[in-house]
Amino acid sequence: MSGGRRRPLVAGNWKMNLLQAEAAVWCRALRSDLPTSKAAVGVAVFPSFPLLPVVARELTGSSIAVGGQDLHPAEKGAHTGDVSGAQLADAGCTWVLCGHSERRRDHGESDELVGRKAAAALRHGLTPLICLGETRDERQAGRTFEVLERQLRAALAPLDSRPVGFALAYEPVWAIGTGETATPEIAQEAHAFLRRLLAGLEGVGPAAEGLSLLYGGSVTPDSAPGLIAQADIDGFLVGGASLDPRNFLAIIRGSG
Ligand code: PGA
């Protein structure tokens, strides 16, 4: 358990996977098997945009939250292919990923843009799950903490009004989709660094103790218990293993 201070959260990031019928089956399987004593672990799922209506419908009345995988910082307008915070909220989302490393890599998202997206999320009542993490080269060059600090400061810079309504996902890029999970020690070291940094930020301060810091990167039912036992790891952002509801459920069970 994560130090007993924060309720664990397990979030599934489906990325660009599943079709509507598969999404509906997934939701039904998860709902029917999720422990009814729902209090122990929070659960959220991040489907692709076209799946949001079916997922929101299937999960109505459940304790499982729904989130978008990205949003545009603007309210609306001429941004072909993008999605606004208002549209996500309207589709039943309460969360949104900001700055996932695949967005940074595939779409050249800058640290500064990630901050504007997080601010837009808050304006629409969505909780931004801000993703950050170093590449393998950055880790090998001893630059991990420098990169995390840069990404965190930039992501939070525009959040002046409600600075504590967010969560972080530490996702070392070298661990995402590679099968190479960070060891509990490596992940805890990064999480402790991020929490100390948050505690020192104006507007966050002591509230840092209550913020959820998730780990992401090749989390499996086997690796989850060792990670969640760390003091500053409050849950998971799960990619590949979230696509099979049995694996996802096993991770949820292993996190409570
Ligand atoms: P993975 O993805 O679990 O497949 O490594 C995690 C993520 O990118 O959120």
pLDDT category at 2 given cuts 50, 70, 90 is very low
The per-residue pLDDT for 203 is 84
Expressed in angstroms and rounded, the spacing between residue 77 Cα and the centre of ligand 1 is: 31
User: CA–CA separation, 219 vs 176, rounded Å?
Assistant: 9
pLDDT of amino acid 159: 81
Closest Cα partner for 214 from 194, 233, 190, 229?
233
Ligand 1 centre and the CA of 101: distance in Å?
A: 10
pLDDT, mean of residues 24-28? 98
Report pLDDT for 185.
97
Instruction: Give the burial class of 114: count Cβ atoms within 10 A of its Cβ; 0-12 exposed, 13-18 middle, 19 or more buried.
Output: buried
How many angstroms does the Cα of residue 149 sit away from the middle of ligand 1?
A: 21
Q: Ligand 1 pocket test: which of 95, 97, 168, 219 has the largest number of ligand atoms within 8 Å of its C-beta? A: 219
CA distance 68 to 79: 17
- Report the pLDDT value the prediction gives residue 34, as an integer from 0 to 100: 87
Mean pLDDT score of the chain: 94
Neighbours of 210 (CB within 10 A): 11
Q: How far is the CA of 170 from the centre of ligand 1 (A)?
A: 11
Q: Dihedral through CA 247, CA 17, CA 184, CA 105, nearest 10?
A: 180
Residue 38: per-residue pLDDT? 52
Provide Rg for the chain, Cα atoms. Answer: 17
Buried b (16+ CB within 10 A) or exposed e, 22-38: ebbebbeebeeebeeee
Domain positions in the chain: 2-133+140-253
State the average pLDDT over residues 135-149: 97
Mean pLDDT of 245-255: 96
Confidence of residue 3 (pLDDT cuts 50, 70, 90): very low
Residue range 2-11: mean pLDDT, rounded: 78
Q: Taking 70 as the threshold, does the pLDDT of residue 39 lie above it?
A: no
Angle at 140 between CA 195 and CA 131, to 5 degrees: 40
Phi and psi at residue 60, to the nearest 5°:
-55, 135
Q: Which residues pair with 247 in a beta bridge?
A: none
State which ligand 1 atom lies nearest to the alpha carbon of 13. 9
pLDDT band at 162 (very low <50, low <70, confident <90, very high): low
pLDDT surpassing 50 at residue 234: yes
pLDDT bucket at 182, cuts 50 / 70 / 90:
very high
Report the pLDDT value the prediction gives residue 158, as an integer from 0 to 100: 85
Q: What is the mean pLDDT of residues 37-55?
A: 90
CATH topology of domain 2-133+140-253: TIM Barrel (3.20.20)
**Full DSSP string of 162-178:** STTS-EEEE--GGGTTT
Query: From the CB of 238, is ligand 1 less than 6 Å away?
Result: yes
Under 8 Å between Cβ of 255 and 237: no
User: CA 143 to CA 135: how far, in whole Å?
Assistant: 9
Task: Note the pTM of the prediction, 2 decimals.
Answer: 0.96
213-216/235-238 β-pairing: parallel
Any alpha helices (H) in 52-100, and if so which ranges?
52-58, 85-90
pLDDT by residue (tens digit) across 70-124?
999 999 999 999 999 999 999 999 999 999 999 999 999 999 999 999 999 999 9
Q: Which residue puts its alpha carbon closest to atom 2 of ligand 1? A: 239
Q: Which positions are annotated as active-site residues?
A: 100, 171
- The secondary structure of residue 241, as a DSSP letter, is G
pLDDT tens per residue, range 187-208: 999 999 999 999 998 888 889 9
Residue percentage of the chain with pLDDT more than 90: 88
